[in-house]
A and B are shown apart, each in its own frame.
Chain A
């Protein structure tokens, strides 16, 4: 058993850390305040090859594997949850879906520009009536000659406002539901019939675009069906599993940032004549935080290793997302407590971190859904099929 990071991943982390400190940390508070997507950051990450971190070099990627991707998200999560979410949606569920299930023409045409950061991606599943219940998708796709006509809409689509390529899940046979009735389509957003209806004004991750999308008679050619007709649910579940892992990584980064803030603060802030570092109540909070972060990080790297060595990882990825989001929330909550009133001010990054961390327990499968997934897997091993 070997827990050391490979030399390429050590070097990759050093590179990412530097990019993050120089290019992202200085604008993290501003993009939150201005409610804007950091396009300059996205382009920079693309130029450096980081938006293709886990994809094969053949398709414009870096070839650093899932471990490389986890490191990227961990480092991004450490300074800017918004950027981490933009990158996560782009790589983790959009480009990843094409990487996992696209044919070579689709990879050439769509994965390559996504990996190089020349185009940006999003993944459209959620609808007003379908979220956790993913099989309840109402967007319809009807076959017409060599193409499909899409009608319907999506909500809460991360990157939806500026993406060039969106993977859209639509019902091709509503009577079949998740088993054979849902198909994934690769949609280019400059096609006629596609429009962005509105963007959400959110409490956290304000530097992301969360859009409502509308499809009206949107014509998608047959060659843009991702995977097989009626089997859209399979690539979706696979890329979602991957997304869960890296969400856990971003949470590890976010929690680490909270911990670092607390240590810095506890070293200087004095109460009753001594620095907070000497107060047992503060020590305990910090010790708990650090322990949970280490446990989470071990989980993240283990899942990444499972992915990179082609082993089943779904169960552990769900645990990683569930545990990660809760660790991050607990860490930032304790960090605000340690900082007292200052934790609520915009002079410190904790106020933003506090708002940003809430979404982690919701998107890419709520904590409740993760628990259902974990429990169903456990019961299935014992011969019981759990129904949601």
Chain B
């Protein structure tokens, strides 16, 4: 079976400081990492036995690093998508590109990607793609396994975990932190970054203008400015003996809950 994983990158949170007051994000070290939820999707894909895993980018990427990472970690093939007009693509435009890319790949049985992005909190790419393909979808899975032409996933609903199942083909989006991702393999890593050996041929570059027309690359999303969420109210501090502190806390809770 063929599994598509869609991967994006994000500024390493360890290298940035968000300052609400200044209304800015300070980038101390400009380093990008694989989106954590997408990394779980890759792990879920690699755990499927005898699957051909093909990595595609989650929209326009400045370089092919996450795709090389995917190959180093065990993906069989990766396609870097670039081209005029793709730089501004949003999730809507990307959906069309991915669908066209999958057509050129002669279809697939399963698409795995992250349920949310770490920076923009976007979770729409998976569902959009499922709609565009007319496939079933499972959103926000903690685990995804394939057997007998079906995909089984674990979801959290309210206070419990439930197992859901759907027939393939399907789109499944994975929660960040759902699975412990494996490390890349040393030899694959060196070869894919050095562009030597068989693995170097597994990375291809496709021009999106050959896949879709100019019109469908136009983003639906328009950026009108940026703002930080309003600062949160400070909590109240309880002082005194434990009994007094408990009373203060209980009163505050009662008030909050309107009891």
Contact = CB atoms under 8 A, between A and B. Distances in A.
Contacts of A50: 186
B185 A7 contact: no
Contact of A62 (B68, B183, B186): B186
Contacts of B54: none
**Main SS at interface, chain A:** helix
Interface string B208-219: 000000000000
Given A11-B68, A11-B69, A18 B190 contact: no
A184 interface: no
Contacts of A6: 193-194
Contact of A8 (B69, B183, B185, B193): B193
Contacts of B184: 11, 15
Nearest to A62: B186
B72 interface: yes
Contact of B187 (A11, A18, A62): A62
Contacts of A12: 186, 189-190, 193
A62 B185 CA distance: 9
Given A11-B68, A11-B69, A11-B72, A49 B194 contact: no
Interface string A19-49: 1000000000000000000000000000011
Nearest to A68: B190
Interface string B164-196: 000000000000000000011111011101100
A11 B189 contact: yes
Which secondary structure characterizes the binding site on chain B? Answer: helix
Residue with the highest number of chain A CB atoms closer than 10 Å, among B68, B72, B194: B194
Contact of A18 (B65, B183, B185, B194): B183
Interface in B54-91: 65, 68-69, 72
A8 B194 contact: yes
A145 to B, nearest CB: 41
B187 A57 contact: yes
B193 A49 contact: no
Contacts of A49: 185-187
A64 interface: yes
A52 B185 CA distance: 12
Given A11-B68, A11-B69, A53 B194 contact: no
Central interface residue in B68, B72, B185, B193, by most chain A CB within 10 Å = B193
B193 A53 contact: no
B189 A15 contact: yes
Contacts of B189: 8, 11-12, 15, 62
Interface residues on B, range: 10 to 19
B33 to A, nearest CB: 8
Contacts of B185: 48-49
A64 B190 contact: yes
A269 B255 CA distance: 38
Contacts of A221: none
Contacts of A131: none
Interface in A48-93: 48-50, 52-53, 57, 62-64, 68
Nearest to A44: B183
A48 B190 CA distance: 12
Interface in A301-325: none
Given A7-B193, A8-B193, A53 B186 contact: yes
- Best-surrounded residue of B72, B186, B190, B191 (most CB of chain A within 10 A): B186
B183 A63 contact: no
A19 B183 contact: yes
A212 to B, nearest CB: 34
B32 to A, nearest CB: 10
A11 B63 CA distance: 14
A18 B34 CA distance: 13
B183 A15 contact: yes
Contacts of A10: 193
B75 to A, nearest CB: 15
Nearest to A19: B183
Contacts of B187: 49, 57, 62-63
Contacts of A18: 183
Given A11-B69, A11-B72, A63 B190 contact: yes
19 contacts: A6-B193, A7-B193, A8-B194, A11-B65, A11-B68, A12-B189, A15-B183, A15-B186, A15-B189, A18-B183, A49-B185, A49-B187, A50-B186, A57-B191, A62-B186, A62-B187, A62-B189, A63-B190, A64-B186
Given A49-B186, A49-B187, A62-B187, 14 more contacts: A6-B193, A7-B193, A8-B189, A8-B193, A11-B69, A11-B72, A12-B190, A12-B193, A15-B183, A19-B183, A52-B186, A62-B189, A63-B190, A68-B190
Shortest beta-carbon contacts, A-B, top 10: A49-B186, A8-B193, A62-B186, A7-B193, A11-B193, A8-B194, A8-B190, A64-B190, A15-B184, A63-B190
Interface of A: 6-8, 10-12, 15, 18-19, 48-50, 52-53, 57, 62-64, 68
